[in-house]
Structure 1
């Protein structure tokens, strides 16, 4: 992620709210989009980057946001994407919600920087993106109603248990996943949203050629087959993960996940001064992936030193690179007037 500088020269990181050097108020200004220091007293603050008046996002009172708005008494436009929050009466709810909001804000800032859905045209009007952070519940008969993490018609649901690191690691081991993180969940689910709201509307033929026709494969049957039999033995020659083999929708979402992983690493490398990657829509994806994987290999060795998981696979097959190029090319696509005016069914 990109960092910034406080007025005193100290570096500002993504979740900072107070400078450890000069005690200045820190956060993200929604007027200029920058991490910045703020000066003034109480509610009379101004952004050191753009000079705009800055009011705390309402969710700062819960400790789940560090953004500042131009108008008082409002949520920042990142927090507005969340339409259902957990019941905060439970002691574990607030820290879990904070972790989810951090990962969601990290995702949205990246998508906005890359110019990807929902920050394309009028998508937020025709195909709005929303987040619901839900918990399993027990009804009056003692029956458990599970909140399933997933996406449907623009709504991304994340089960709050995913914000519990112990529970998440237990699920990761039980399901045999190399990684299971909050940002990984969100990048995967946003892949489904991009599929539904944009990719399948602006580049359908190439989508079918690369990922297959999702409506030609019964999803429930494909899911049962995947969990019963696993992935094909040769999955690594054409797919980015075993889960991607289950269904075209999952193949696309997993590919988006890895694309966003790669772009995040490249952005951080640029920010840290160790690279000067072209991250524009015109960038050569093949060359970018090759160079980022060099960083991945190095960082994975550091992780190995500490007993942690590798960042990403050390090599991606040609078929996966072609799929990544498709996702990258979506950033150059535009909604035609006819498509842009169409609403979700």
Structure 2
């Protein structure tokens, strides 16, 4: 995915980063040392072959002078925090960080390195039709089980992992969706309906958020595209920069409960241990708010990414039109 947030670096800069991370003896020689991994939508990531033949990934945050959405500030540092939490409190497979640099001396952004994961991206397999339906169901079930394990970690507050936090989920979530709406207004994004109407919908259903009283670790952005698989098993979960302390029901795997366009959630729900039919009316109201938040992010971010093609904007606008009548 092409985006103006991708902070591509020169060959000399990449070699300097590798030297800082692994020492001068492992810096590769020549011009053909790195390939850009193109699946991400925000950061830039390179697959690098070290001098000793080992392969690593070098991931770099957006340039300092590129405007990002409110929740996207210092997301790489949030990812480092998320990875440490997952490794300390769960058995979920995630990448090991070899080296992280937040000094912004070799380039204008944070960056880190990790071992290259020799596996297939589940999302790419689905898009290319290279996974059979029964295998897809099994992997979605595994994704549900993984998500449940991640959600078992209890946090100190609601909101960003690194703080500052909120005492209630209502404060945290209404602040999150309020930020997205302000981002949209600042960039003059056409949502197809008034910002005032959307704020009224959030206010009308915000009481459903009060039922959530225990902050849990949630990835929010956990979907097949951030899942690496090999031999029918999930071997790694990647891209943790959007993790937060919140309500597990906000996880991406539940989104299909509200809108069919996000895919059949049945296999995910089996793996997670939930049944859509058992959701209470309050849970359904919360779930619609979470889908609203996701769709708004998907619409507004197209302006901040500088997308040349309109397909994501058009697709997301259609989802907003489908969702709004569900609020009554």
Higher relative contact order (CA 8 A, sep 6+): 2
Would you say same fold, with TM above 0.5? Answer: no
Larger Rg, first or second structure (1 or 2): 1
Q: What TM-score does the superposition give when structure 2 sets the normalisation length?
A: 0.29
